Chains A and B, each alone.
Chain A
Amino acid sequence: MAGEKKIETTGLLGWIDTRFPLTSTWKAHVSEYYAPKNFNFWYIFGSLAMLVLVIQIVTGIFLVMHYKPDAAKAFESVEYIMREVPGGWIIRYMHSTGASMFFVVVYLHMLRGLFYGSYRKPRELVWIFGVAIFLCLMAEAFMGYLLPWGQMSYWGAQVIVNLFAAIPLIGPDLSIWIRGDYVVSDATLNRFFAFHVIAVPLILIGLVVAHIVALHEVGSNNPDGIEIKANKDANGIPLDGVPFHPYYTVHDIFGVAMFLIVFFAIVFFAPEMGGYFLEYNNFLPADPLKTPPHIAPVWYFTPFYSMLRAITDQFAWVLAGLSVLGAIALFLRSNLKGVWRLAVPVVLIVLAVLLRLLDAKFWGVVAMGGAVVLLFFLPWLDTSPVKSIRYRPGWHKVLYGIFIVNFLILGYLGTQPPSPVFNLMSQIGTLIYLGFFLLMPFWSHRGTFKPVPDRVTYKSH
């Protein structure tokens, strides 16, 4: 054998270890992966997202065994699962509740990252893979929502696919290409089914693996936002680290127990969750000739949907004006060097012109997509000298609070029919959301920061 490696295990495990890195992988990622000991409540949502992913995949497999991706049969096949397939109702409710709970845990997981600066160097790729997972999840949820073929499924898909038609030049053809028809139809249902059960989950799982591999390469952040690898003992083990197994496995089991209580309370006692997890209108079969009076996406899309609706022709003037102001401000006084000093203001001026040239509907789509894409750049937008919110100035915490409340209000507005007051509110909300991120390079390093400790803050149990 060339390049003989040293194997400490014997017997069957030894036989495997000579041929496959089983023990070493287990050690690297679980039993000797050192995580900071000061994780708090917020650190449970990563594992929970994995749990929900498994729930979705397993329940999804069973649903596919009985579901018919056919416009004439889809709606009734879901009712067939609910009534005649033994245990079908619980599988289906777990899948529908799982979809919403996936977003609950992922939003909280992302918020955790925001609080403690988990996206900062050296964890930029962990964050970027995470945002890509979030995008995949949105695609997965959107396409899955068409499958029950109810009124909301149908008209929600119709509205969203029509958005692509707003893209200049290629838009109308693109939306037909996506639908495979001039309206949402059987062809659309079949391709969405293919994407929902095969294409997107494959990408999703790949990204989850990349997310974890990247995380384990650099090590976990913690609520203090300091690197535990800076303080190691004689054996090279971080002084403030504990092995993931058994410490965080038992921790996670505890978190899983709490989560499952909430999860199954919903599954068994409120599967519709008041019409927000399973929309009532979706119990009416899709009818291409009958547009519902009020079309709203499921709750997890509503903050972004609000931003889409916020961009009106008038509001495009406001955005164009702000772009020009931004260009002038950047040109006159900024730290940008060399070619950037001219390039960024020019890009902003071009943006301002385009904002007036192209249809507001297109900019609505850009705002909605941009609100997510913006997250990719967070590691470079944040210029604060500390990672964790714990050591930021008080007014930073207020800004984070405003951001969260604003996001929730946008979410609420997205569920409501449009009205002049609500439109104005979502326009202000959109500015707050975009401003929070885009102005980060200007505010995030200002203020008096508290001293960051050398070692993590931890009170033993």
Chain B
Amino acid sequence: MKKLLGAFALMMLVVAAPLAQAAEGGAPLERAPHRINDLASLQNGAKIFVNYCLNCHSANSVRYSDLRNIGLTDAQIEGNLVFTGESVNDMMHIAMTPADAKRWFGTTPPDLSVMARAKSINAGPSGADYIYTYMRSFYRDASKLTGWDNTVFPSVAMPHVMWKEQGPRTLTKVVVHEAQDENGVPTGAWERVTTVFDEHGYSTVKTEPVDSHIAGHASTQLQFKALDPARAQAFDNQVADLTAFLAWMAEPVQSDRKRIGMWVLLYLALFLVIAWRLNAVYWKDVK
């Protein structure tokens, strides 16, 4: 029986280990800085959210007054964050209707209340990592309707709303793959395609055959280059704050629950000791 239990435990590990998966279709995700307990960051994130996001995206499950929980007073919320004459007790609705949004953008911008949870990957990167990487992965592509594309979410309908904050960037995309003829049939030859998107979104493509030792291994490499590194770095910091706010907003109770959880587990540990001794007292007579 013991052996069986051991084998059982071992199998659980073997089965659980390979559960991590990569993000669908997009570039690998970077870790978002951990700022969920940093009130100044959360407040700055709230400011960015209200200014940049809360025009197209709603947060229908969130009340403005919830921002009290990240250290803001009603006066601060009303004075700086509520723009359309609503009360602090209102939900973060937007004026644009889903039908209009669909007509104007081709798709309805999703509600962001719990987006930071929705974008997490099973036993993998968190939704915060997704948002942090996504927000910093826009590049100019003049061939797209909005003039923008994104390496994490290819062909996204959303333009780079904070482009002025980030400053101009270029993207170099190096794809190694099996070449195809004009009918999309693989030819068996391998090639490296280097696409450079300049800061205006015009691209130059260079295709070259690859060495035999690389052939057979498809790969994609993405290299952003900020033309104004200081501005881009400041932008990263802003996005980290925004990400922290979205992660907080997705589950405002998360810090409380961990704090309460510690006490609950401490109590249960004590209860366990008592239950263990109680059990022993009764059972000592059973021969």
Contact = CB atoms under 8 A, between A and B. Distances in A.
Residue of A84, A223, A261 most packed against chain B (CB within 10 A):
A261
Contacts of B1: 115, 223, 389-390
A339 B4 CA distance: 41
B237 interface: no
B107 to A, nearest CB: 10
Given A37-B286, A76-B61, A268-B264, A408 B66 contact: no
B122 A275 contact: yes
B121 A275 contact: yes
B75 interface: no
Contacts of A82: 61, 251, 253
B73 to A, nearest CB: 20
Interface in B248-287: 250-253, 257-258, 260-262, 264-265, 268-269, 271-272, 275-276, 278-280, 282-284, 286-287
B111 to A, nearest CB: 7
B117 A461 contact: no
B99 interface: no
Contact of A409 (B4, B15, B127, B257): B15
Contact of A401 (B4, B12, B60): B4
A89 interface: yes
Nearest to B91: A76
Contacts of B265: 261, 264-265, 268
Contacts of A293: 24
Interface string B158-194: 0000000000000000000000000000000000000
B113 interface: yes
B110 A275 contact: no
B257 A268 contact: yes
A350 to B, nearest CB: 38
A254 B278 contact: yes
Nearest to B118: A283
Contacts, number: 131
B47 interface: no
Contact of A253 (B8, B117, B127, B275): B275
Contacts of B227: none
B234 interface: no
A281 B118 contact: yes
Contacts of B284: 460-461
A58 to B, nearest CB: 17
Given A264-B265, A390-B1, A411 B283 contact: no
Contact of A261 (B11, B260, B272): B272
Contacts of B276: 254, 257
Contacts of B24: 293
B7 interface: yes
Contacts of B253: 82-83, 89
B260 A268 contact: yes
Residue of A247, A257, A285, A401 most packed against chain B (CB within 10 A):
A257
B258 A268 contact: yes
Given A268-B261, A269-B261, A405-B7, A79 B15 contact: no
Contact of B275 (A246, A250, A390, A460): A250
A115 B1 CA distance: 9
A272 B119 CA distance: 13
A89 B275 CA distance: 28
A397 B262 CA distance: 41
Given A275-B123, A405-B7, A283 B261 contact: no
A91 B60 CA distance: 22
A280 interface: yes
A280 B120 contact: yes
Given A250-B279, A461-B284, A280 B117 contact: yes
A62 interface: no
A253 B123 CA distance: 33
Interface residues of B, number: 52
A84 B65 CA distance: 11
Nearest to B270: A257
A284 B118 contact: yes
Nearest to B268: A261
A83 B252 contact: yes
B114 interface: yes
A415 B19 contact: yes
Interface in B80-119: 110-111, 113-115, 117-119
B279 A90 contact: no
A261 to B, nearest CB: 5
Contacts of B283: 247, 250-251, 460-461
A26 interface: no
Interface in A245-277: 246-247, 250-251, 253-254, 256-258, 260-261, 264-265, 267-269, 271-272, 274-276
A76 B15 contact: no
B261 A264 contact: yes
A291 to B, nearest CB: 13
Contacts of A274: 19, 122-123
Contacts of B118: 280-281, 283-284
Interface string A136-162: 000000000000000000000000000
Contacts of A79: 61, 113-114
A32 to B, nearest CB: 16
Interface string B36-80: 000000000000000000000000111100100000000000000
A461 B278 contact: no
A160 B1 CA distance: 37
Given A79-B113, A280-B120, 5 more contacts: A269-B258, A275-B122, A280-B119, A411-B15, A461-B280
The 7 tightest CB contacts between A and B, nearest first, are A268-B261, A275-B122, A283-B118, A79-B61, A257-B272, A254-B275, A283-B117
17 contacts: A79-B113, A82-B251, A257-B275, A260-B268, A261-B268, A261-B269, A267-B261, A268-B258, A272-B117, A272-B120, A280-B117, A280-B120, A283-B114, A284-B110, A405-B11, A408-B11, A415-B122
